[in-house]
């Protein structure tokens, strides 16, 4: 199944609060065959992204899924372990579901801003961040979650726990996303 079609339907749904009609899908996907649309819709129904009820399409909870890519250290920077799982969330929890993902926090370096071990953070992918943003960053080839700051005109990372030092890149610091929200289940 081409997930590009699913993403286009998700974007349409976010904007219009409904699933596009078959005719709208022809335009949306740039196709001219109604048979192709029927096949795409049937695939999305069989994969449980959409459901048919009284000849109308509606999204399932699976439609709003966001990938969980793995765990991220909130202590000293370390290599990230990638594992691909999915968690369905209501659409309103995430501003940009097509450019967002979840990470589970490990460590205590961000407790001062209310991010604790075991919390899930919603990361919105972007390379643009301002001083003070909580960011997912790659510092000297190690992944971490920290507060972006400036020192002597250069970008550094700060923990929100006084037990951790400032993290100053020796080689490189790249921002990959900004924390948009934190979720904690009690």
Annotated catalytic residue 15? no
Q: Which of 73, 100, 106, 146 is catalytic?
A: 146
109 has catalytic annotation: yes
Distance of CA 11 to the CA centre of its chain: 15
- Give the helix/strand (H/E) hosting 105: strand 100-106
Q: 135 exposed, middle or buried (CB, 10 Å; 0-12, 13-18, 19+)?
A: buried
Calculate the CA dihedral of residues 50, 52, 56, 57 and round it to 10 degrees: 0
Angle at 28 between CA 56 and CA 97, to 5 degrees: 80
Q: How far apart are CA 93 and CA 138, in angstroms?
A: 26
How many CB atoms are closer than 10 A to CB 12?
16
Find the catalytic residue in 73, 100, 106, 109: 109
Q: How far is CA 43 from CA 35, 89, 145, 146, in A?
A: 12, 22, 38, 41
| Cα separation of the two ends of the chain | 36
User: What are the residue numbers of the active site?
Assistant: 109, 146
């Amino acid at each position: 199944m081409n997930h590009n079609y699913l993403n286009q339907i998700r974007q349409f749904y976010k904007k219009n609060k409904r699933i596009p009609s078959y005719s709208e899908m022809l335009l949306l996907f740039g196709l001219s065959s109604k048979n192709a649309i029927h096949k795409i819709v049937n695939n999305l129904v069989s994969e449980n992204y959409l459901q048919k009820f009284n000849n109308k399409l509606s999204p399932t909870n699976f439609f709003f899924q966001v990938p969980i890519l793995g765990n991220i250290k909130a202590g000293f920077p370390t290599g990230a372990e990638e594992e691909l799982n999915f968690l369905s969330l209501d659409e309103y929890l995430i501003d940009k579901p097509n450019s967002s993902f979840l990470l589970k926090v490990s460590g205590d370096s961000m407790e001062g801003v209310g991010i604790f071990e075991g919390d899930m953070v919603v990361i919105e992918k972007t390379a643009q961040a301002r001083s003070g943003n909580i960011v997912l960053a790659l510092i000297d080839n190690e992944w971490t979650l920290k507060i972006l700051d400036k020192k002597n005109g250069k970008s550094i990372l700060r923990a929100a726990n006084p037990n951790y030092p400032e993290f100053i890149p020796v080689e490189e610091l790249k921002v990959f996303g900004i924390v948009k929200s934190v979720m904690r289940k009690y």
